[in-house]
Amino acid sequence: MRHRRVTDKVLEFDKNYIRDLMNAPSTNAEQLRTIKTALRSVIEEELSDRQRQIIEMHYFQGMNNTQIARALHLNPSTVGRTRKRAEHNIYRTLRFFFHL
Q: Are 32 and 40 in contact (CB under 8 A)?
A: no
Domains of the chain: 2-98 (1.10.10.10)
* Per-residue buried b or exposed e for 18-40, using 16+ beta carbons within 10 Å of the residue's own CB: beebbeeeeeeeeeeebbeebee
Q: Is the model's pTM score more than 0.95?
A: no
* pLDDT tens-digit series, residues 1-55: 444 444 454 445 555 555 565 565 567 777 778 888 888 889 999 999 999 999 9
